[in-house]
Amino acid sequence: MLFAKMEIEVKDDEKAILDCIQYDDFLTSDARSESEIEWKARRAYLSRYEAKEMFGEEVADKVKSVL
């Protein structure tokens, strides 16, 4: 009989964040397979307040209101 000793990695915690995204709100660079993708982009809708907090007042003033 032949026995082998192996180390097995055990993860303490793992989470997956799932988002439902409309297909025309998601873009990637041209690629033939997943490993060739250079960049990914996703459209995110922000309120004027959220835009001000993230990018500053100058950018928030240029935002057109959708509502």
Give me the phi and psi of 42, to 5 degrees please: -140, 135
Whether 12 maps to a domain, the answer reads no
Note whether residue 1 is domain-resident: no
Question: Which of 56, 34, 33, 38 lies closest to 46, judged by CA?
Answer: 56
Indicate the pTM of the whole model: 0.48
Please report whether residue 58 resides in a domain. Answer: yes
Question: H or E segment at 51?
Answer: helix 48-55
The dihedral built from the CA positions of residue 50, 54, 56 and 60, taken in this order, carries a sign that is: negative
List, for residues 3-44, the tens digit of each pLDDT value. Answer: 888 888 888 898 988 888 899 999 999 999 999 999 999 988
Contact status, residue 44 vs residue 60, Cβ threshold 8 Å:
no
Structural domain boundaries, residue 60: 20-30+38-67
- Residue at 6 is within a domain: no
Res. 53: pLDDT tops 60: yes
Q: 28 with 41: CB under 8 angstroms?
A: yes
